[in-house]
Amino acid sequence: MNLAEKRIMVTGGSGFLGRNVVQKLAERGCRDVFVPRKAVYDLRYQEAIDQALSDSQADVIIHLAAVVGGIGANRAAPGTFFYDNLMMGTQLMESARQRGVEKFVGIGTVCEYPKFAPVPFREDDLWNGYPEETNAPYGLAKKMLLVQGQAYRQQYGFNAIHLIPVNLYGPGDNFDWETGHVIPHLIRKCVTAVVENKPQVEVWGDGSATREFLYVTDGAEGIVRATEQYDGAEPVNIGSSFEISIRDLIAIIAEETGFRGEIVWDTSKPNGQPRRKLDVSRAKDKFGFEAKVDFRTGLRQTIEWYLAQSETAVPT
């Protein structure tokens, strides 16, 4: 698919990942890209979806919009995470089908995988168990995009694909205390400790859990490549295949931010899923995607961006 010839709607296109996807589309010569903003188009509601589709006249939809957050946010509002994500995806895909949209790119989440899936996570293992409890409502809501897309492909011949990106990070990430994910959360904690001369930083869990992280520009490239080149029914992982423990992660962040104090583990708080690492061979085989940015470089660029943006931070 030559995307430069298509009208493309990118939901969530003003967000962290979305801005990078829109930039990748621009680099490919796309000039007709519509980004519905929530203040005008609240995609939880059918009327807003209808208006967005009418205003965009989209040939292709890349559905990035989601209610997201870390473990704390998911524990505090599981109903919100389930309902909002489910309603956005289900209604949008049905309306896209009715209007004859050529392609629907559903963006899932690594939280779809079973809590104890064999590592590395293979797409064929998606249904072999229940997701990790703290983010299961979110993961299952996003997983319904896969089920719906496959059902619509079978019944209507609708071209819906499903991509499963791993945890993203990079400049422009969400550094909010309540809703930020682990990397921005730990960066902010360490930078704050340095600025305020605090002797210690507290981290949830015991540090044994592992995560895979993907630099946001790499994630955006994978999504756009799949939009161009992949039309299959099977889900595809988008990742870096780089796994690191939370214990090692905080050690690197402390080093890069100049924090020299003590790391205190709050073992009363959950670790989340024990391990996360994706098998990324399908993405390479189907559309030639491989991550390019190494973790230490990406982390350093993320910290530098945060220091430049923060009103309270000072360079270390």
List, for residues 208-255, the tens digit of each pLDDT value: 999 999 999 999 999 999 999 999 999 999 999 999 999 999 999 999
CA dist list (Å): 43 to 50, 236, 312: 9, 25, 35
Q: Does 138 qualify as catalytic in the annotation? A: yes
List, for residues 131-147, the tens digit of each pLDDT value: 999 889 999 999 999 99
Strands (E), the chain: 8-11, 33-34, 60-63, 103-107, 160-165, 167-169, 200-204, 210-215, 236-238, 243-245, 262-266
Residues whose CB falls within 8 Å of the CB of residue 111, separated by 6 or more in sequence, listed in order: 131, 132, 135, 136, 138, 139, 142, 273
**Composition of the chain by helix, strand, coil, percent to 5:** 45, 15, 40
Proportion of the chain above pLDDT 90, given as a percent: 88
Is the pLDDT at 170 greater than 60? The verdict is yes
3-state DSSP assignment of residue 42: coil
- CA-based R_g, the chain, Å: 19
Domains of the chain listed by start with CATH number? 3-169+212-238 (3.40.50.720)
Residue 170's Cβ-count burial label (10 Å; 0-12, 13-18, 19+) is buried
pLDDT of residue 24: 98
Give residue 72's pLDDT band: very low, low, confident or very high (50, 70, 90).
Answer: confident
Average pLDDT, the chain: 94
Enter the tokens of residue 154. Answer: 């079978």
Choosing from 41, 138, 169, 306, the catalytic residue is 138
pLDDT of residue 74: 81
Task: Kindly state the average pLDDT of the residues 118-137.
Answer: 95
pLDDT of residue 315: 45
Is the pLDDT at 93 greater than 50? The verdict is yes
pLDDT of residue 316: 42
Is the pLDDT at 187 greater than 80? The verdict is yes
Is the pLDDT at 272 greater than 90? The verdict is no
pLDDT of residue 230: 98
pLDDT of residue 273: 81
Under 8 Å between Cβ of 246 and 211: yes
Is the pLDDT at 14 greater than 80? The verdict is yes
Give residue 150's pLDDT band: very low, low, confident or very high (50, 70, 90).
Answer: very high
Under 8 Å between Cβ of 109 and 164: yes
